[in-house]
Amino acid sequence: MPEGNADPLDAAVRSLARLIGSTPGPVRRARLQHGDLVVEVEWPDGAPGLAAVPAVPPVEADAGLHYVCAPMVATLYLAPSPGADPFVSEGDQVVPGQQVAILEAMKMMIPVEADRAGEVVKVLVPNATPVEYGERLIALAVSEG
């Protein structure tokens, strides 16, 4: 596969995860079809299901800080594996597209990437913590330029 092209199935799974995370009510059933492959997940009525979180109200900017936020409800991991060094630490410089964390949802690992260049001011959420859609994960002092 040419570098830079995402696997179509992987892209479809990520899109489904984003859709579930932005749905305004509890999700009881999800279906993903890619060619001949069909994946269906159904939660029983008695189970809590995946409930989307209401939209986070806008928050005033904090003295030029930018926040990397959770794109979905999931569990946040700050390192690629247990015992490994974290993706980023306070004081590190990041660039747009650089992986800063990973989210696990429904046994899928979804990278969290910086969307702006800057210095990591504070990691706001501890490792292996459940996070909500839109929750602030990492505070960045945005680089000029």
Provide the whole-model pTM. 0.58
Would the pLDDT of 2 be above 50?
no
Q: Which of 43, 42, 94 lies closest to 67, judged by CA?
A: 94
pLDDT digits (tens, 9 = 90+) for 113-132: 999 999 999 999 999 999 99
CA angle, 35 as apex, 32 and 41 as ends, to 5°? 20
| CATH number corresponding to 65-142 | 2.40.50.100
More confidently predicted of 6 and 13:
13
Amino acid 3: pLDDT? 43
More confidently predicted of 112 and 28:
112
Cα gap 145→106, rounded to integer Å = 38
Q: Which of 133, 128, 131, 140 lies closest to 88, judged by CA?
A: 140
Q: In this structure, are residues 101 and 113 in contact, taking their beta carbons and an 8 Å threshold?
A: no
More confidently predicted of 4 and 87:
87
pLDDT digits (tens, 9 = 90+) for 34-83: 777 777 777 666 555 455 545 544 544 567 799 999 999 999 999 999 99
Residue 74 φ/ψ, nearest 5 degrees = -170, -175
Q: Which of 143, 89, 95 lies closest to 121, judged by CA?
A: 89
Domain coordinates of the chain in residue numbers? 8-51, 65-142
Which contiguous run of DSSP H or E holds residue 74? Answer: strand 74-77
* Average of per-residue pLDDT across 23-30: 72
